[in-house]
Amino acid sequence: MSNLVDYLLDLAADPDRCARFKADPESELRYTALSDREKSAIATRDPQQISQAIADQSPDTGIVLQWLFSVFNESGG
């Protein structure tokens, strides 16, 4: 898995960290090991940009995420 995917999974699993991210994404991202590109993608909160950043680092994971986002969007989720 990529650093970005690991970061997102950790963020989703930690309610306090997630709340800090929602309140101040820049501060929460400042000390991560993510690249500037990955940090920028996360800061947008745009699923397409995030999945593209993942695909750039880990093509197989990016393809799966893009498929999941498309299924989610088609189902009205």
pLDDT over threshold 50, residue 1: no
Could you tell me if residue 25 is left (phi over 0), alpha (psi between -120 and 50 degrees) or otherwise beta?
A: alpha
What number of H helices and E strands is found in the chain? 6, 0
Q: Is the pTM of this model over 0.75?
A: no
Condensed to tens digits (0 to 9), the pLDDT of residues 47-77 reads 888 888 888 877 677 666 667 667 666 655 4
